[in-house]
Amino acid sequence: MTKVLTFGEMMLRLKPAGNNRILQAADFEVNYGGAEANVAVSLSLLGDQAAYLTKFPDNLLGDAALGTLIKYGVITDKVLRGGPRLGIYFFEKGASVRTTNVVYDRAGSSFAETKRTEFDWPKLLADVDYFYFSGITPAISRELQEAVLAACQYCQAHQITVVCDLNYRGKMWSPERAQEVMAELMQYVNICIANDEDFEASLGIKAFDGDMSRGIDQKADFKAGMLEVTKRYPNCHTVASVLRNIYSVEASQWTGLLLHDGQYYDAPVYDMHVMEGVASGDAFGAGLIHGFVHNFEPQDMIEYAIAASVLKLTISGDLNLVSDQEIRAIKGQGAGASMSR
Amino acid sequence: MTKVLTFGEMMLRLKPAGNNRILQAADFEVNYGGAEANVAVSLSLLGDQAAYLTKFPDNLLGDAALGTLIKYGVITDKVLRGGPRLGIYFFEKGASVRTTNVVYDRAGSSFAETKRTEFDWPKLLADVDYFYFSGITPAISRELQEAVLAACQYCQAHQITVVCDLNYRGKMWSPERAQEVMAELMQYVNICIANDEDFEASLGIKAFDGDMSRGIDQKADFKAGMLEVTKRYPNCHTVASVLRNIYSVEASQWTGLLLHDGQYYDAPVYDMHVMEGVASGDAFGAGLIHGFVHNFEPQDMIEYAIAASVLKLTISGDLNLVSDQEIRAIKGQGAGASMSR
Amino acid sequence: MTKVLTFGEMMLRLKPAGNNRILQAADFEVNYGGAEANVAVSLSLLGDQAAYLTKFPDNLLGDAALGTLIKYGVITDKVLRGGPRLGIYFFEKGASVRTTNVVYDRAGSSFAETKRTEFDWPKLLADVDYFYFSGITPAISRELQEAVLAACQYCQAHQITVVCDLNYRGKMWSPERAQEVMAELMQYVNICIANDEDFEASLGIKAFDGDMSRGIDQKADFKAGMLEVTKRYPNCHTVASVLRNIYSVEASQWTGLLLHDGQYYDAPVYDMHVMEGVASGDAFGAGLIHGFVHNFEPQDMIEYAIAASVLKLTISGDLNLVSDQEIRAIKGQGAGASMSR
Amino acid sequence: MTKVLTFGEMMLRLKPAGNNRILQAADFEVNYGGAEANVAVSLSLLGDQAAYLTKFPDNLLGDAALGTLIKYGVITDKVLRGGPRLGIYFFEKGASVRTTNVVYDRAGSSFAETKRTEFDWPKLLADVDYFYFSGITPAISRELQEAVLAACQYCQAHQITVVCDLNYRGKMWSPERAQEVMAELMQYVNICIANDEDFEASLGIKAFDGDMSRGIDQKADFKAGMLEVTKRYPNCHTVASVLRNIYSVEASQWTGLLLHDGQYYDAPVYDMHVMEGVASGDAFGAGLIHGFVHNFEPQDMIEYAIAASVLKLTISGDLNLVSDQEIRAIKGQGAGASMSR
Amino acid sequence: MTKVLTFGEMMLRLKPAGNNRILQAADFEVNYGGAEANVAVSLSLLGDQAAYLTKFPDNLLGDAALGTLIKYGVITDKVLRGGPRLGIYFFEKGASVRTTNVVYDRAGSSFAETKRTEFDWPKLLADVDYFYFSGITPAISRELQEAVLAACQYCQAHQITVVCDLNYRGKMWSPERAQEVMAELMQYVNICIANDEDFEASLGIKAFDGDMSRGIDQKADFKAGMLEVTKRYPNCHTVASVLRNIYSVEASQWTGLLLHDGQYYDAPVYDMHVMEGVASGDAFGAGLIHGFVHNFEPQDMIEYAIAASVLKLTISGDLNLVSDQEIRAIKGQGAGASMSR
Amino acid sequence: MTKVLTFGEMMLRLKPAGNNRILQAADFEVNYGGAEANVAVSLSLLGDQAAYLTKFPDNLLGDAALGTLIKYGVITDKVLRGGPRLGIYFFEKGASVRTTNVVYDRAGSSFAETKRTEFDWPKLLADVDYFYFSGITPAISRELQEAVLAACQYCQAHQITVVCDLNYRGKMWSPERAQEVMAELMQYVNICIANDEDFEASLGIKAFDGDMSRGIDQKADFKAGMLEVTKRYPNCHTVASVLRNIYSVEASQWTGLLLHDGQYYDAPVYDMHVMEGVASGDAFGAGLIHGFVHNFEPQDMIEYAIAASVLKLTISGDLNLVSDQEIRAIKGQGAGASMSR
């Protein structure tokens, strides 16, 4: 059975209960999430064999994060334990014209403090077919940047497919630093996921003008950007993107775009009422990898990935708790809701 | 004073708190509901004399369900007690493109296990003017199908108006079985409520193509279907329907249509932001019966019924906790919201 | 530093948890608010020196209301303590076509029972630059009407700017009584905020036909009404209004309009998904006063005020818990939401 | 069937969620209660015919209070509607050495504002066998004092048994005023319930030294006080008391004492872990009346009443939601808990 | 590594939030539990290899129950899926003198409807060292009784240790029926756990007089009863019991007793303040099995088991979420609490 | 007016809702606390002038912590802003024999990262009469140790009273390191608070054998230890201790002991049912300082301090939200609870 390993940081996520702001919160809802963990959980829920690699502190918070992965079937036997603390992020959901806030409290976490030597890649990647990381992991520390590089090199040498979601985070590093690091790592990437500002911030490729209310309207520019990626990085045979017109925190349109072996594939556009706009890119990535694992046709692949992605917009928490059947029910269409009873 | 008796099953309804999925639920919100109970509660809140007939187990859950009816003024002196258990349904609210899920756990309930002989219709219907049931009741068991039939026959013989909401439930029986049963019962029905798929699934009459995103657009087909109902079942002088264009779990348009004594009556269309899309058909039915009880003009009747129905879309729980005054405030219009202070 | 004093009643606000109606509420969310207190808190959060004058009972509820003001930095050293009780209002949030309900329980409150002689205006206004009250305060009692009048007279004699939000409340007094009182008070008002029905109900000036779904569409009439205000009351150099097209409890459009020294200034229109439609007028007033305090250009002033106002629509509770930075982020535009991470 | 009418005020009760203090409360738990309403609900749950007389405002809060009574089967057809507001009390539960706080907000309530002429006693008491009131009702207003007197006089003239729980409330009136009023009313009382300080505060009879940690230890003094009551008021054939040694908010001992037709009857002592120490006196009164209604032997009566009373200590909210079967299960014993499964 | 298989039914457990009664519950806390599942989770949390065998319906409730087991590391690869429904039990926690109520709603569950032929014991027990069941499993149905018997016979033939917790449930079967069935099964049991009434109800051996307030005081009778068990059933080399003096829902004393290879071992007595008195017997059983798996000395075994058991009394939900380290911290002592910081 | 400055770290405190363990927590209750902040809030609530010095990050969490202090009247104008993060601690409340767990996540906090040079003591202490710190502050970092030393030296030179609660935390430093640092700081301390293990761990003075179940029983040893403190550190004229017999998480006895100017003063013993055993030492310290500020007699001082301390055991959260009146109500006695209504 095909096996996917994802490598990154899972954090405790704290969100004021209901619609409260942090300043008025009497309770935080407790969730655990992080790009690469989210991808692993999605794949596991879709029936794939997904393993996750990180380092958790050896305390009750580490236990709780680990328990969350196990509950959803992720293979966690390679997870390291120890170090100072579990990273945290505070999530203050916006509304209408009020922007969502994310406050990171991840510095000094057990994962952030790992040394590259803690990762024995030949052993860790021994039975792996797909290796997934996002741009967040090398942004965390120099050591992790080197660890990712070593993993990529091992993969290339052993025919393991490397998947990278660029996932640029302006609160973690500058475009200059990101581009410097990603330029090297992209040499090894076979499947690249790039959304919105990622093209420019992570790769220095202009594909999007930054206006989130008209991402879909710039599809032609995205196509050009994608092509440029494959030109610059010949090992990269696939580039996939989520395109969005975001009108407010709740109202937006979503679609997907795929460049695979030189050919473009479009997904339908979904008119969305968004419950929670976090981690839908990870759901998209998981949908895409699921497509590769099961040899979907490219058109199916992008339709499946964007359907998985928009379903995440309806779920609370970082994890895309949906089934393959639920994705298929809305795949390839725009909307249409009824009740099953 | 005119008295209405409704006959069916009230269940414990369990819904994950907030927007959670069942898989992540740490709490279930507790409500009690069921089509016929919902109609009785609505009528009682509108000031009508409404009685409810069912069987509840003789345990704390049965007490709680009964207490809910009593709280809202429903006459419950004919409710039977005993049997194994209270039926349950789990309600997982959808969002945007994610469909709402209903998981029934009603098999083996006290009501489902009743025998037709437990219902002494001459006594139960002695002072009743309207008898209401929905297609769910005969779908529960053969015994209940016979019980409903006996009640209908008694009604016809004693000038009690029979109201039936076809309420087809695909998880309870097949169209074939439904049509077989309803064909017989419809001989006795005077007022028939039929929504969406009910025409075809319950009666085998084509009136709607199944596309929930364009129910209103098929008004002409609905009209034809309604007419066919009155032709096939001459005792049925009235057919009423809710027509909907459902774009997503939250966004939809609602209107009502009435065929009464051979004449059609249209209601205005409401653009709705839906909080909870359950039991609005029951609210419609109650509004309609309220109109008959108070001799409303047909045009008033359909406008009142659809206004009651769309208000239900704004209420949590199965019960339409609105007043006559609140229905009248929006009756005959489309929208318009302000604050009363 | 410029100092603002606001004068009015802060109440305990009780709202059924979640979307429940009062009839089904097992819990009430606890907040404290009132037009003038809301303005003071907004100003304080924007960095201005804001004091609040009221009377709280000397019990745990009074302590809690006072603590809320202190928490947000309002100067409360002039707040009176004593009297029978804290006023309360119950807030039942509507949804879609169901109207929001406010049940006042403010009669006999400590503030409502104050005598005019309890307010020593020369002392209270000694270091004040702006005095703010809303039409609610004189509506509470004859004594408070006289107290407001005395304060206004003192202000006029001592170059303190008087700001009044007409804030007509039909549940508190009739248009006749309001007009009689406000006609006198308006002699002293320099900056007048008038929304929707306020023009006619409080001043007898026709500016709006009462149809909340097309307030923005009547901008010309509003302009005429504003001009009439400045003509009738020559001390009033500024009139500001929020204009709205309200389509449902959630969906509406918002804009602002300013008449300042004979010139009109328009704000952009915001398409809003409303979380809570209460106290946004107070947020508007606070934004406007903040503009005056900091000598904003009139165009900036109205854009800032309406941006503050629409942000309030995204916050639970009476208090506009937003920062100057958040207001500036959406000022002068329509919408556009992204995530800061 | 024997019918009991109770006459008094039911209030909205607001309690900080969990163990919070009012100063830190983000939510209030919503309940409705009041001595005489609590007695009516208890009797109804025990299967007796219990009616309640009060006046509720004609708003959503009045509806909710009324709905609570109806839910538990109380006959409410004589309840008046109208007037300004529903009385409220805030309940801050203590813990260990920290005392429980009650903040009344009942002044100006609909019931408090009733006139004596609103109560047509011949009609209200037409089919009543027992009339119950507590000392709280005449403490509310002079009009209610007169209303109670008129009711008592009617009862005496028509062989209706009058039950009075003295229920002294120091926050409502002084001992002097209470004694003046109760001295007159006691002329008509047949069954008197007097706890702790009631003897002295309401009647000026010394029976208890005020030390709540040793109420049971003063049983001899209580007996003397009870005897004195029957001597002073010859129509009073029965006096019943709850005796308590209260060690802390959670830990206490409870027993009951009855003087009936000149003879004393003792109940066993219960060692209690108290969840909520409110309204247990009302539960005691209801238990006692239930005993009279069903002609219990005096020893059974006091054992039943104290068992009902201590069960209330385990229930949240004012209402004693227990069954006759549950009372009997612990009647006549001290403790002993197991699980029924 | 030694492997334990437990066989039984895991149910959805619904408990009114906080201390509410079912009649007043607006929310149910959601947990999943059942004797044999609880034992498996405990063992897994203690680091043992524990598998669980049951049948879950193929719906969202079945998924959630299964996810709970997986989260805590239980091996679930042999769990069957299908059948009508997940069993439920409602748990109404008592307080002080008010008894805890359990309402079973497990009839017609997927597990209850299994046929003996669905269990292929040679395959299911292939790599198992300990087979555990409780008296609940054969009480569910005749088919399950036969299934247990077949499993026991296979175990005896293949040197698999059989552990049985008699776990008599009066709401499931009569003593007569229990004794008839258990007499046969006990032929195969090697380790028997018997608490309180189990001796008499399940085996007809008198060891306890039924007074839960003095179980520990009857230790001599328990010893005699245990000895009688080993005499009657020579394959049973070990009998273990929890002995309790229960004074109220919160206050009780707990100790353990072991008869192993003809010798008695006593545990210390714990004075407990009980948070939740459910599933502590399962925690005891798991502690005992853990002792066998790791070859503890008998004295260590009983001390470990009772320490695990009393810790469960401090945990909400059916599952004993404690670590080996936490058990060891209180093992062999009575009480003593401090804070680790 | 006498002014107290406290110096330390305030953290976000996260506690699983209700009685849940961290592993099962779906929500965390949000509070903010820390020894020195708790002391400042207590003093402010008692009417004293209390200032707090710390450093908060310049983010929403820092705002929320600061808002908490301001709400309760603490002077915060000297609080520094900036640095990486707000310290956090997770609080898992134990029950009965299960120990309470505290998981610190405070490394790398804004306060922990401060440099000694950020504190300009002459300015910070200009108008201060009492300077308070606990042993936690120097345990955080070498820089803070030096900062405290500099503050103490300034105080000695300027007749500012130095109060130190030794507050040993084994998770922060070793006894060796603590003793080394405290030996130096104690030269400047005038009032020393030492509880339980503090004597030995922080000062190397044997006064308590470590058995928390019999702290009160070792009063003679505590007295000797206190005397030794005053001998070693001649500037220290006062030593105060809380003595406890802790039987379980809920059940314990509490008393206080004071050595002042060579004379001992005892407080009465309180039998406590503990709701939350955190921060009661801080409440004790605040009570003691309040006594000094108001020149209480020594006997009054220790009685007041221990009464404040045990009241904290009844409050959720770190802050002792009680009034002077509530402390006086239980001062000098053991227990006794009634209801104020």
E25-39 pLDDT per residue, tens: 999 999 999 999 999
SS (H, E, C) chain A: CCEEEEECCCEEEEEECCCCCHHHCCEEEEEEECHHHHHHHHHHHCCCEEEEECEECCCHHHHHHHHHHHHCCCECCCCEECCCCCCEEEEECCECCECEEEEEECCCCCCCCCCHHHCCHHHHCCCCCEEEEECHHHHHCHHHHHHHHHHHHHHHHCCCEEEEECCCCCCCCCHHHHHHHHHHHHHHCCEEECCCCHHHHHHCCCCCCCCHHHCHHHHHHHHHHHHHHHHHCCCCCEEEEEEEEECCCCEEEEEEEEEECCEEEECCCEEEECCCCCCHHHHHHHHHHHHHHCCCCHHHHHHHHHHHHHHHCCCCCCCCCCCHHHHHHHCCCCCCCCEEC
pLDDT tens across B184-217, in order?
A: 999 999 999 999 999 999 999 999 999 999 999 9
> Nearest CA of chain B to the CA of E28: how many Å?
5
**Using one digit for the tens of pLDDT, what is the confidence trace for B252-282?**
999 999 999 999 999 999 999 999 999 999 9
Question: Per the CB < 8 Å rule, is E71 touching A73?
Answer: no
What mean pLDDT is predicted for residues E302-325?
96
pLDDT of residue A231 exceeding 90, the answer is: yes
Which one of F14, F58, F69, F171 would you mutate to disrupt binding with A, by most A Cβ within 10 Å of its Cβ?
A: F14
| Average pLDDT of span E299-327 | 97
Tally Cβ neighbours within 10 Å of residue B297.
12
Query: Which residues of chain C have a CB within 8 Å of the CB of B310?
Result: 96-97
Residue F27 has its nearest CB partner, among A28, A90, A108, at A28
- Summarize pLDDT for F290-337 with one digit per residue, the tens: 999 999 999 999 999 999 999 999 999 999 999 999 999 999 875 544
Rounded mean pLDDT of E57-84?
Answer: 96
CA gap F82, F58 in Å, rounded:
5
Q: pLDDT class for F191, splitting at 50, 70, 90? A: very high
Tell me the per-residue pLDDT of A136-195, one tens digit each, with 9 for 90 and over. 999 999 999 999 999 999 999 999 999 999 999 999 999 999 999 999 999 999 999 999
Q: Would the pLDDT of A23 be above 60?
A: yes
CATH of domain A3-330: 3.40.1190.20
Which bin fits D191, alpha (ψ -120 to 50), beta or left (φ > 0)? Answer: beta
Answer yes or no: do D97 and F272 touch at CB < 8 A. yes
Q: Chains B, E: CB contacts under 8 A, how many?
A: 71
With an 8 Å Cβ cutoff, are E335 and F171 in contact?
no
CB half-sphere exposure, D187, CA atoms < 13 A:
13
Domain ranges of chain B: 3-330
Token pair 């219009």 is at which residue? B333
Nearest residue of chain D to residue C104 (CA atoms): D85
Residue E329 vs residues E307, E311, E313, E326, E338: alpha-carbon distances, Å: 9, 11, 16, 5, 11
- The answer to whether the CB atoms of D313 and E248 lie below 8 A apart is no
Which residues of chain B lie closer than 8 angstroms to E108, CB-CB?
107-108
Query: Which of C101, C250, C278 is nearest residue B340 as measured by Cβ atoms?
Result: C101
Residue whose entry in the numeric block shows the structure tokens 């108070």: B294
Which residues of chain A have a CB within 8 Å of the CB of C330?
A: 97-98
CA distance D169 to chain C (A): 17
Residue A171: per-residue pLDDT: 93
Q: Which of B313, B317, B330 sits opposite C24 (nearest CB)?
A: B317
- Cα A130 to Cα A88, A133, A279, A283, B58: the distances in Å are 28, 10, 20, 16, 58
All residues of chain C having their beta carbon less than 8 Å from the beta carbon of residue F72 are 67
Distance from CA of E121 to the nearest CA of D (A): 31
B67 vs D67: CB contact, 8 Å cut-off? no
pLDDT, residue A19, reads 86
Q: Give the pLDDT confidence score for residue C339 in this predicted structure.
A: 61
Q: What is the mean pLDDT of residues D200-207?
A: 97
* pLDDT at E208 > cutoff 70: yes
Asked if F64 and A90 come within 8 Å (Cβ–Cβ), the reply is: no
Write out chain F residues lying below 8 Å of A108, CB-based.
Answer: 107-108
Between CA C254 and CA C269 the distance in angstroms is: 5
- Residues in chain B with CB shorter than 8 Å from the CB of E90 are 60-61
Average pLDDT over chain A, rounded to an integer: 95
Residues of chain C positioned with their CB less than 8 A from the CB of B45: none
Beta pairing partners, D75 = D51
Indicate the helix (H) or strand (E) that contains F16.
Answer: strand F11-16
Summarize the confidence of residues C101-107 as an average pLDDT.
Answer: 95
With beta carbons under 8 A apart, name residues in chain C contacting B67. none
B contact test, residue of D63, D71, D315 with most B CBs within 10 A: D71
Neighbours of chain D (3+ CB pairs under 8 A): B, C, E, F
Q: Which residue of B has its CA nearest to D64?
A: B71
Q: What is the mean pLDDT of residues C138-157?
A: 98
What ipTM, to 2 d.p.? 0.92
Residue E336's pLDDT band (cuts 50, 70, 90): very low
Interface of F with D (CB under 8 A): 18, 270-275, 310-311, 313-317, 321-322, 326, 329-330, 335-341
Q: Does pLDDT of E323 surpass 80?
A: yes
E15 DSSP 8-state letter: E
- Number of Cβ within a 10 Å radius of residue F205: 20
Task: For chain E, list the contacting chains (3+ Cβ pairs, <8 Å).
Answer: A, B, D, F
Chain D positions touching F268 (Cβ under 8 A) are none
What's the pLDDT band for B19 if we cut at 50, 70, 90? confident
- Indicate if the pLDDT at residue C133 is higher than 70: yes
**What pLDDT score was predicted for residue A335?**
52
How would residue F340 be classed by pLDDT, with cut points 50, 70 and 90? low
Segment E277-300, tens digit of pLDDT:
999 999 999 999 999 999 999 999
Neighboring chains of F (3 or more beta-carbon pairs < 8 A): A, C, D, E
Instruction: Give residue A332's pLDDT band: very low, low, confident or very high (50, 70, 90).
Output: confident
What percent of chain D clears pLDDT 90, i.e. is strictly above it?
Answer: 96
- Amino acid F334: pLDDT: 59
Mutation target vs A (from C71, C270, C311, C314; most A CBs, 10 A cutoff): C314
User: How sure is the predictor about A311, in pLDDT bands with cuts at 50, 70 and 90?
Assistant: very high
- Over residues A196-225, mean pLDDT: 96
For residue F211, give the chain E residue with the closest CA.
E336
Q: Chain A residue with minimal CA distance to E65? A: A71
Look at residue C58 and give its three-state secondary structure: coil
Buried b (16+ CB within 10 A) or exposed e, E242-274: bbbbbbbbbbbbbbbbbbbeeebbbbbbbbbbb
Q: Which residues lie below 8 Å from residue B279, measured CB to CB, with a gap of 6+?
A: B33, B35, B38, B312, B318, B319, B320
Chain D positions contacting chain F at CB under 8 Å are 18-21, 23-24, 94-102, 104, 169-171, 211-213, 246-251, 277-278
Residues B298, B260 contacting (CB under 8 angstroms): yes
H helix runs in B141-218, sequence order: 142-157, 175-185, 198-203
pTM of this structure: 0.94
Closest residue on chain F to D251 (Cα): F273
**Across D301-326, average pLDDT:** 96
Return the pLDDT at F335: 52
> Is pLDDT of C336 > 70?
no
Angle at B222 between CA B221 and CA B225, to 5 degrees: 90
CA-CA-CA-CA torsion sign (C24, C30, C35, C39): negative
* pLDDT at residue D338 greater than cutoff 90: no
Distance CA(D59)–CA(F181), nearest Å, equals: 67
Is a pLDDT exceeding 50 seen at residue A282?
Answer: yes
The Cα–Cα gap between B241 and B193 comes to 6
Give the pLDDT confidence score for residue E337 in this predicted structure.
Answer: 46
* pLDDT recorded at residue C335: 52
By three-state DSSP, how is residue B133 classified?
strand
> pLDDT tens, E71-111?
999 999 999 999 999 999 999 999 999 999 999 999 999 99
Q: Report pLDDT digits (tens) over B82-95.
A: 999 999 999 999 99
Q: For residue A336, name the pLDDT band (cuts at 50, 70, 90).
A: very low
The SS3 call for residue D219 is helix
> What does the alpha-carbon distance between residue E178 and residue E175 come to, in Å, rounded to a whole number?
5
CB contact under 8 A, A60 and F23: yes
Average pLDDT, integer, range A214-243: 97
Chain C residues contacting B, CB < 8 Å? 18-21, 23-24, 94-102, 104, 169-171, 211-213, 246-251, 277-278
Summarize the confidence of residues B289-302 as an average pLDDT.
Answer: 98
